[in-house]
Amino acid sequence: MNISEIQAFLNENQLDGWLLYDFRGINPIAQRVAGMAEHGLTRRWFCYVPSQGEPVWLVHRIERSHFSEVVGVVKTYTGWRELHHEMGTLLSSGGQIAMEYSPHASIPYVSRVDAGTLEWIRSFGVQVVSSADLVQRIEARWTADQLAGHRESARLILRAKDLAFAWIGEQVSAGKRVTEYEAQRFLMERFDAMNLTTGHPPIVAVNANSGDPHYSPTAAKHQPIQKGDFVLIDLWAKKRTPDAVYADTTWVSYAGKTVPERYVKIFEIVREARERAVAFIREMAATGRTIYGYAVDDVARNYITEKGYGEFFLHRTGHSIGTEIHGNGVNIDNLETRDERALIPGICFSIEPGIYLSEFGVRSEIDVFLAHLGPSGVIVTTVPVQNEVLTLL
């Protein structure tokens, strides 16, 4: 744990401490922050990081050996009465403490502590506040090595995308049968050859299937790709190294020589929404103003709405990216949730507006890294970006 960074945040925000808690994996944030993700623990454990002084751990006696190398004081309990007594002692000074809780579950990614545990902790006379901003600062910011690895992963997934579209075009041109599932397997083979890993196979969606944002072909359910079809590929992967972070992008194409106007029209609206969102972030960063996740979403969503397609933009504009494809930092969202967290230096997120119609859907996705607040601090890492619908023949 980065104790000094945690305590700096606690003091800056007049918080008395951060109470990390997990039971059988319900709080992966606490697991990662505390370095306990790989221990396979079966009992409740707590770690209280005060604004001053060393951390205090409260763990079950039978699992004491798993905490032999942690920083701080380790206390143990056996029964529930002892646990209650030790927790009361730990929180006897009262005050405000942060936990993985989100008022009204407004940020589900951070809403990890169950209601009963919250009730119990509050019974000791403390006020529990959300750790959402603290989690972003401690867990969502990247190191220089992670950024370098992300850029390499971005280069590779874009290369895999190029190879997949080219292969699809070759198969269609030759009159050979090719399906969404076969293209998905082609991409997975490229990932293996590039030493990349992914938590879920990429999306390859043709025609109406591209109008389903989270459609994914399977061996049993897929469609052929034929001449004249519209094809969307969404792919994400990361390096096979510890603490590697993802790269994520979506491109669209037409299996023909001249793209029909109906595809061009929708793509150009989506592309402009994407560009306006990035321009807004650049403008705000250049003047040092606070950039909120919901405000960036508003920019993209308002433009698509002005063009008459607001009801067909079915998801948030973007998500946090980290060691998981959907990270725990700020999301670019004022639809599914209202994410009022600010974009801070060191985080990465996607910008991916979309319009999903019954016949086809268009999404254009890029990754953006905020290096610092200033004119040059907003970096698009998935380059080149798509500026027109690809033709495959």
- Write the CATH number for 214: 3.90.230.10
pLDDT digits (tens, 9 = 90+) for 248-279: 999 999 999 999 999 999 999 999 999 999 99
Q: Which helix (H) or strand (E) holds 362?
A: strand 361-363
Q: Using pLDDT thresholds of 50, 70 and 90, give the confidence band for residue 85.
A: very high
The answer to whether residues 57 and 178 belong to one domain is: no
Distances in Å between the Cα of 251 and the Cα atoms of 114, 161, 231, 234, 367 are 39, 8, 9, 7, 13
Same domain, 116 and 205: no
| Residues 284 and 382 placed together within one structural domain of the fold | yes
Q: Model confidence at 241, in pLDDT bands (50, 70, 90)?
A: very high
**What tens digit of pLDDT does each residue of 15-57 get?**
999 999 999 999 999 999 999 988 889 999 999 999 999 999 9
Query: What do you get for the CA distance between the two ends of the chain, in Å?
Result: 53
With residue 166 as reference, give the H or E element that holds it.
helix 144-173
Domain that holds residue 30: 3-139
- pTM for the whole structure: 0.94
In the chain, what percentage of residues exceed pLDDT 70?
Answer: 100
Question: What is the number of structural domains in the chain?
Answer: 2
Shared-domain flag, residues 132 and 79? yes
Residues 373, 269 share a domain: yes
Quick: pLDDT tens for 138-149.
999 999 999 999
